[in-house]
Each structure stands twice: as C-alpha cells, then as structure tokens.
Amino acid sequence: MDLNSASTVVLQVLTQATSQDTAVLKPAEEQLKQWETQPGFYSVLLNIFTNHTLDINVRWLAVLYFKNGIDRYWRRVAPHALSEEEKSTLRAGLITNFNEPINQIATQIAVLIAKVARLDCPRQWPELIPTLIESVKVQDDLRQHRALLTFYHVTKTLASKRLAADRKLFYDLASGIYNFACSLWNHHTDTFLQQVSSGNEAAVLSSLERTLLSLKVLRKLTVNGFVEPHKNMEVMGFLHGIFDRLKQFLECSRSVGTNNVCRDRLEKTIILFTKVLLDFLDQHPFSFTPLIQRSLEFSVSYVFTEVGEGITFERFIVQCMNLIKMIVKNYAYKPSKNFEDSSPETLEAHKIKMAFFTYPTLTEICRRLVSHYFLLTEEELTMWEEDPEGFTVEETGGDSWKYSLRPCTEVLFIDIFHEYNQTLTPVLLEMMQTLQGPTNVEDMNALLIKDAVYNAVGLAAYELFDSVDFDQWFKNQLLPELQVIHNRYKPLRRRVIWLIGQWISVKFKSDLRPMLYEAICNLLQDQDLVVRIETATTLKLTVDDFEFRTDQFLPYLETMFTLLFQLLQQVTECDTKMHVLHVLSCVIERVNMQIRPYVGCLVQYLPLLWKQSEEHNMLRCAILTTLIHLVQGLGADSKNLYPFLLPVIQLSTDVSQPPHVYLLEDGLELWLVTLENSPCITPELLRIFQNMSPLLERSSENLRTCFKIINGYIFLSSTEFLQTYAVGLCQSFCELLKEITTEGQVQVLKVVENALKVNPVLGPQMFQPILPYVFRGIIEGERYPVVMSTYLGVMGRVLLQNTSFFSSLLNEMAHKFNQEMDQLLGNMIEMWVDRMDNITQPERRKLSALALLSLLPSDNSVIQDKFCGIINISVEGLHDVMTEDPETGTYKEHTLEIVYVRFETTAINCMLMSHLEEPKVTEDEEPPTEQDKRKKILALKDPVHTVSLQQFIYEKLKAQQELLGEQGFQSLMETVDTEIVTQLQEFLQGF
C-alpha cells in the first residue's frame, strides 16, 4: 500500500463509515473489512489517528479499527498476520509522541499500546518502558499526562498475565521501576497537596489526575510485582506510608466541598488507597501481617469513633469495614485447634488480632454497628414511603457487601459476632433486655433503635441458639408487637416478621406454628405494602422449612393463598412479582394436591401476567416455575390449562425464538411435568413435539430432560406418537450415537428400550435403523459394561416379544457380516452368556433368561451347542427371583405388590405381579402421577412381570425333551455342569 495515496482512500472510506446514512455506512464498513488483511492498512490508520487536524469521529474510528486489528492479526500464528517489518514500524510510531489532545482517543491509544505490549514487551519491544519513563518526566503537562496514562495501562495489562514465564518478566520489571514509580507518585502527591489550597482548580485537578494515575501504577506493581513483598523495604515503606497519605487526603476533603470539581477525583483517590491495602491483603496475607495493627487502628478510628465525623463518606466507610472484615475472617490468620500445628506466621497474625480486639474495642464496635449503622436512615424511610417495592428489593445478595453500606455493615457484624461470640453475646442480650415490652409509637428514635437491635438478633440467630429462649420471646414479646397496628409502628411489624423468618430454621417449636400462621394471615392484610411483602418472604421460609407439617398449615391455606394472590396483583415491579410468584410456587409445591380448590383465580390471572411480561424474561421464568408446581398440584386436572399451557411450552422450547435463551430450561421441565400428569394425548400436545428435533441437534446439558420427555410421549400414546415422529426421532438418535458420551448412548438406548417394551410390534419397525448398531455392539463385545447391558436389554426385548422381526434382523446382519445366520446367532448367544455379569438390574437379568429360553425348543445344532449357556443364565435368573420357604424347604417365585415408579433409574422389582391395587400414599409421599399409573399398567402386561420364570423354564425344557426324545434330551443335559443341574432340579421341585 502506497501510504500517501492509500491514506486519501482510507480517509474517505472512514469518513463514510461515520455517516448516519446506512446506504453510505454499510458499503464503507464492507470495504474496511476487506482492507483489514491488507499489508500497510494499519500504518495508514496510525497516520490518520495521529493527525490531530482530522475530524474527531474519523480518528476515533481509525483507533478502534487499529485496536481490533491487534486482537486479530498481531500474533505471529494468526491468519493474515502482520509482517514483522510493519509491526516494528507501528511500534515505533505509537510511542513517538504522547500529545493526543482528546481524552477519549488518548485512552484508546493507551489501551492499544498495552495490547501490543502484552504480546511483544519486553522481548520485541524493549524500548517501551524506558521511553514511557522518560516521557513521564517531561515538563509538558499534556505529554506527561498521556505518557502516565499509557504507563498505567501497560502496567495493568502486563500484571494480568498468568503464565510462569510472564510472571517472572513482570517481577523483573517491577523490581527495576518500583523506586521510580514511588518517587513519581510522591512527587505528584506533594504537588497536589501544595496546590489544593491555591484556588487554581485547573492546576489542582491536573495534579490530582497525575496522583491518581501514578497510584494506579503503584497498585499493580505492589500487588502483582513481588513474590515476597514483605522482604522489599520500598514496598513496605510505600504501604506504611499509605496511612499518613490517607489522613492528609481525608483532611484535605474537609476543604474540598461536594460541589468542587475535584471532589469526585479526590474521593476516587482515597478509595484507591484502600484498594491497594485490600488487594495486598487478599494476595499476600502473610506479607500484610506487619500492617494488621495499623490497618485495624486506622479503620476502627475512622468508622467507629468521632475521628471520622465530618470527613468520611459512604464508599470509604464500606472499604474500611471490608478491611476489618477481611482481617477478622482471613483463614491465613486462624490457628489450628492444636496450636502447635499452626505456622509461626499464622500465630503472629493471630496474636496481633487478639491484642487489638479487646473487650472494650469489640463492645464499642458492636454497639456502634447496631445503634448507628443499623438504624434506618432518612433516605431509606423516604424510599419506603415513595417507592415501597424499590425499598424491599434493595440490593442485599451476592457481593453487594463489597459496595453498599447496609449489606456491608450486616456482613461485618455477622463475621465479628461469629469470631468473638462469647464476648459479644452478653452485649447483645443486654441490648435486648432494655427493649422489653411495647415501644411508644410517638418516639421514632426508640422505634428505630429497637428495629436495629432486632436486626442484630436476626443476623446472629445461629450464634444465639443456646442463649435465647426464642419460643417464649415469640409468645410474650414478638406476637404482641405484631398486633400493634399503628402506622408509625410499621418498621417494627416488618422487622419482627423478618426476625421470625431468620429464626424459623434455627429454633422454633412446631406447636407454635399455628400461632405464626395466624399472624401471617393478619399481616398479609396489613395496610403497608412493605410489611405485606416481608410477610410473604417469611411465609416462604416457614413453608420451606424442614419441620413444616401440612396438617398444621391446611386450615390457613385458603386465606393465605387468596391474600398472596391479591398481593401478586397489587405489586407492579417485575422483581416483586417474581418474588411473590416464588412464594406461591413454594406453597403449591408443599401442599401439592390440596391446592386444587383454590387455584382458580391464579389460573385465570397467569395468562394475563404472561402477556404483560413479554419484555421481562426473568418474570416469565418465575411464571414457568409456578406453572410447574401448579401442574404437579392439579395432576390430571391440569388438562384444563392446556389452552394456555401448551403455547407457553411451545414458545419456551422453540430454539428459533429469542426468549428460549432464558426460558428453555424451565420450559422443558414444564413440558415434562405436563406429560407426566396428562390423562391422555391431545393433538396440540402431540404437535409441540416438533420442537424436539432442533433440541436434540444441540446436544446440550438439557438432553437428559429431552429423553425424559420422549419417554413421556412413549408411555402416554406410543402408537400415535411413533407413527408421527419415530422416523425423524430415529434419525436424530443415529446422529447422536455417533458423537455422544457413553452415558448419553445409554440414555438414547433406554428410550429405544422403552419403545420396544411399550409397543413390541411397532417399536422394532420404527427404530429399525438403530438395531443393527446394537447387534454389532453385542457381537463385537462392547467394552463398557453399562452400554453392553443396555444393548442386551434392547435385543432381549426384540427376541422375546417380536421373534419374526428378530429373524429378519439376524438375516440382515448375516449379510453384513458375511456369515451364516446360525453361526452369527451362535456368536451372539456366546457373547450374551459371557457378558451376563455386565447386567446388574434384576429386570434385565430376568429378561435375558426369558429371551434366550424363547429360542427353545429347537433342533438347531447351534442353539443346542449353546444350550449349556442358556441354562446357566436361566439358573442365574432363578437365583434372582426365587426364595426358599424355610418351613417346607421348597422354592417360591416372589410375588410383588406393584409399586409406583418415581424415577427412571429405579427398576420395578422384576418378579411376578398378580394384582392391581391402589397403594395407600402416606402424607410424606407424593401421590402417583398419571405416568406412574401408566407404567404400572404397562408392567402388568410385560412378560418380565407376568411370566413365571420357573414355569417358563419347565415348559421350555419339557418341549425340548419332547422334540429330541428322552435320550437326545439326556445327552443335551449332560453338556450342563452337574452343580447347575442340581440347582435347577431344586428350583423345579413340584413340577
């Protein structure tokens, strides 16, 4: 590319690419895409974005294309990689001038230099760091700032590399430049502190910006640049110096008002100081040991004493609390139960902690946390009034404690209370004692103090287990407080019901639950929305608890369900609706069928809510979860929901529709429970199976559920289902078997086995393309036992229940193997007998015996040759199914009262079944689904469960004897081991 002529062309196309007109924009983007791999293109881009006279948008676009090009084409192994010559020219051009006037473009240039440095520094680009160091020393403000910005991004990028060789290079770099970086930071910091009172805001802001950037560089070097930083005097000197600098900056913040242009940058710098300490503690806990004492003294004085009044701000308080928390909770500082097993470093750190956290210090921290930081603020109370739903969903989960004050104070309290509970339990109990009885509704301060103490008692529930008689406290103190209906008492009504929710799984007598349910019913009608939402949360915790008893709950079910449904309609925010839906789902799940009389209103409302939530996929996920529990609770009656239910399943499981990304997992679960509870197939239910083929193609983590759904259709309506979908399904299975794991193959073949079991005539025809694959696996002696067992199960079904089809399959395979049919059959029987021990399920073991016995009587020499093996398997089968009557000494085949099968993996006991009684379902058991009933009826038609193996063997041997005559049969029996013959005779006594 000739640079001058090329620059003009590229500049023109870049200008077009900044156009708002798509007719101009699209061709320009296409042209730029084609040029990406052209030699010289990036040199042209460099010329364009370093030319300050050109349009800003064009230069911005040139930088972005250059940056993306580094990601794609800078590595030597990349397709269309840049030549070494061009890269050398570009590297030199990038660091020629640090004089970019536009901040955003300067940042992008710094980032792209860092990207090149990640790949080339220091080996191909040894001059980068020295050039940056020289450039940050210049007097020109702009060049100095831009060089410092680049220095930071390069340091940050190199620090993030994780390979051992890269770490070593960064350690060497850090050792070489640390002294300079410290001097640079000190220089800019001193300059800022001298200028801050000058009144020249531009100069102050400029020096503060440099302080911030140089501190960012030092942070990366300090945290990531040394293996044993405590051995480096400069590093430890810098870290100790942070506390003095922090004090200077905090004092400085007194004079810099909230409206000052420097205020934001000043707070960022203060926070960055704390980040250095937190990161260093996280990465080098033992190197931090000399800093523990000072860190605790500094943080506690600013957060828990009057020292911090007037100068601290929320984000700084959060950082200090996190520093205290990380020291208190750090596992590196916790000695073993046996002190001698602990390292000296651990014992040293533990000793410093214990010396600091004295009784007066801990007491003061605890009291201040509760009486100061736990109090509801004016802002929170205003939010309660103006945006109650926003108040209830304030961020409290996950890592919110790292950034938000309230969750931060609560997590610190929990950790300190856990660590020093013997010291702090009496302190909290004393605070509780002072708050007995009702509080004057006119005294808002007293109400808020009580709210804060109750919050502490809830957070420390597990630690207070042995110290608080919660049942008595509930009856004598908490219940009466819930009955105070004054509007100003609502913070306490909300806090008390929350507190009970915290204790419910810790210590709450079962007999008291009806009293709690009564209180919940009342509070769900409270005039305040926040109280109602908090009550719903406690209801969920109560219902979800291990000691929940349905019989205690049922008298309140109708009232609660109605009130929860009203609450669902009253709330407007997506998050709150999701929350209430989860509570409803939980209630439905726990009471199951008992919910049926009360769900009419919810069933009518959900379609409307589904329509309204088109833009809110997470709310739709909550609706799907509710529907899952609803279908399980309604059982066969769920068929009435199909006009709404089936389109929801259709949309949620259609991978061509964008919402499937959020809805697929829950949608599949809903599809499965709908099938399990369906009394009969409907055309619409059959039609949504069209969604299955693309799902199977994806081979995702949802395959197991997909297989369960296919089984559900087979059990529900095998003939109609197989005739409609088996061809496509068989094709999908053939593709899956080529690429799927061993476990996946077993799952596919179990589906085929079910189809053969349910429909012995149609099943083998429909899955005919898979059966040669199974046959070959048996003949070739599949090495995985679980796969071989499944192969034998599939083939056993065909052989036992569709002999004519087995014959045609054997004929087909004989042609493929180029063998005689008899010879191939002999090989199969031999492999079957040899691998019988691979089969562990009793059902399949009996199936194998029945299948091989079904080859008798026979005058076929190959079958007679394998007679011994067939008898061996049959006797093994008899051992599985027979028990000896101790009184008579005779053997009887098990009879079995058939049980419902809950899970795919639970084999029905494979003995004889003679009656179909409805089993009694105890309160703790789930009632049988429609699919369970279908499986039971199927089992009663299954030869494995209806045919007596004892009788079958006897009849087959008798028929073989009649075919061969006494002498011929005797000769055949002599091929069987005498011990096996003896066992067989014992089993067949009485025939």
What's the pLDDT at 737? 87
Region 632-638 average pLDDT: 92
1 pLDDT more than 50 = no
Go through 218-230 and write b for each residue having 16 or more CB atoms within 10 A of its CB, e for each that does not: bbbbbbbbbeebb
- How many other CB atoms are there within 10 angstroms of residue 260's CB atom? 15
pLDDT tens-digit readout, 150-201: 999 999 999 999 899 999 999 999 999 999 999 999 999 999 999 887 777 8
Region 214-229 average pLDDT: 95
Distance CA 124, CA 128 (A): 10
Region 354-367 average pLDDT: 95
pLDDT tens-digit readout, 504-543: 999 899 999 999 999 999 999 999 999 999 999 999 999 9
Q: For residues 93 and 927, which has the higher predicted lDDT (pLDDT)?
A: 93
Region 444-453 average pLDDT: 94
* Residue owning tokens 């291990």: 546
What is the pLDDT confidence band of residue 774, given thresholds at 50, 70 and 90? Answer: very high
| Sign of the dihedral defined by the CA atoms of residues 405, 406, 412, 415, in that order | negative
Helix, strand, or coil here: 670?
A: helix
Region 549-556 average pLDDT: 92
What's the pLDDT at 365? 95
Q: Which two tokens stand for residue 426?
A: 């009496």
Distance CA 494, CA 236 (A): 49
Distance CA 774, CA 770 (A): 7
What is the pLDDT confidence band of residue 903, given thresholds at 50, 70 and 90? Answer: very low
pLDDT tens-digit readout, 90-111: 999 999 889 999 999 999 999 9
> β-strand 912-913 against 891-893: which pairing, if any?
unpaired
Within 469-571, residue ranges assigned H as helices are 470-473, 479-482, 490-503, 513-523, 529-543, 550-570
217 pLDDT more than 90 = yes
pLDDT tens-digit readout, 333-346: 988 877 777 889 99
pLDDT tens-digit readout, 605-633: 989 899 988 889 999 999 999 999 999 99
Percent of the chain at pLDDT exceeding 90: 69
904 pLDDT more than 50 = no
What is the pLDDT confidence band of residue 906, given thresholds at 50, 70 and 90? Answer: very low
423 pLDDT more than 80 = yes
- How many other CB atoms are there within 10 angstroms of residue 841's CB atom? 15
Bridge partner list, 883: 892
What's the pLDDT at 199? 72
Distance CA 980, CA 44 (A): 89
Go through 302-332 and write b for each residue having 16 or more CB atoms within 10 A of its CB, e for each that does not: bbbeeebeebbbebbbbbbbbbbbbbbbbee
Contact 96, 60 (CB under 8 A): no
> β-strand 895-896 against 891-893: which pairing, if any?
unpaired
Distance CA 832, CA 852 (A): 9
Q: Which CA distances in Å does 59 have to 26, 38, 45, 93, 896?
A: 19, 19, 8, 16, 82
What's the pLDDT at 70? 93
Average pLDDT over all residues of the chain: 90
Go through 36-45 and write b for each residue having 16 or more CB atoms within 10 A of its CB, e for each that does not: eeeebbbbbb
What's the pLDDT at 896? 39
Q: Which two tokens stand for residue 950?
A: 């004892």
What's the pLDDT at 2? 53
What's the pLDDT at 891? 73
pLDDT tens-digit readout, 475-507: 999 999 999 999 999 999 999 999 999 999 998
Rounded to 5 degrees, φ, ψ at 895 are -105, 150
Q: For residues 196 and 299, which has the higher predicted lDDT (pLDDT)?
A: 299
Q: Which two tokens stand for residue 973?
A: 């029996």
Distance CA 607, CA 610 (A): 5
Contact 890, 989 (CB under 8 A): yes
Distance CA 932, CA 927 (A): 9
What's the pLDDT at 894? 65
**In degrees, to the nearest 5, what angle opens at C-alpha 93 toward C-alphas 91 and 94?**
65
Percent of the chain at pLDDT exceeding 70: 95
Helix, strand, or coil here: 341?
A: helix
Q: Which CA distances in Å does 967 have to 324, 516, 833, 961, 962?
A: 94, 83, 26, 9, 10
Region 348-372 average pLDDT: 94
Region 844-859 average pLDDT: 92
Residue type, 373: Y
- Cα 790 → chain centroid: 32
Region 324-330 average pLDDT: 95
What is the pLDDT confidence band of residue 397, given thresholds at 50, 70 and 90? Answer: low
Choice among 32-41, 816-825, 921-930 with the minimum mean pLDDT? 921-930
